[in-house]
Chain A
Amino acid sequence: AQSVTQLGSHVSVSEGALVLLRCNYSSSVPPYLFWYVQYPNQGLQLLLKYTSAATLVKGINGFEAEFKKSETSFHLTKPSAHMSDAAEYFCAVTGTLWDDKIIFGKGTRLHILP
Chain B
Amino acid sequence: GAVVSQHPSWVICKSGTSVKIECRSLDFQATTMFWYRQFPKQSLMLMATSNEGSKATYEQGVEKDKFLINHASLTLSTLTVTSAHPEDSSFYICSARGTSGNNEQFFGPGTRLTVL
Cβ-defined contact, B49 with A45, below 8 A: no
Contact of A104 among B9, B43, B109, B110 (CB under 8 A): B43
Q: How far is the CB of A81 from chain B (nearest CB, A)?
A: 22
Cβ-defined contact, B32 with A43, below 8 A: no
Contact size range, A: 20 to 34
Contact size range, B: 20 to 34
Given contacts A42-B109, A43-B107, A44-B44, list 14 more A-B pairs with CB under 8 A: A41-B9, A41-B109, A43-B106, A43-B108, A44-B107, A45-B107, A46-B104, A90-B43, A97-B102, A98-B103, A103-B43, A104-B43, A106-B42, A107-B43
**Interface residues in chain B, defined as those with a beta carbon under 8 Å from any beta carbon in chain A:** 4, 9, 32, 34, 41-44, 46, 49, 93, 95, 102-110
**Interface residues in chain A, defined as those with a beta carbon under 8 Å from any beta carbon in chain B:** 9, 36, 41-46, 49, 90, 97-98, 100-107
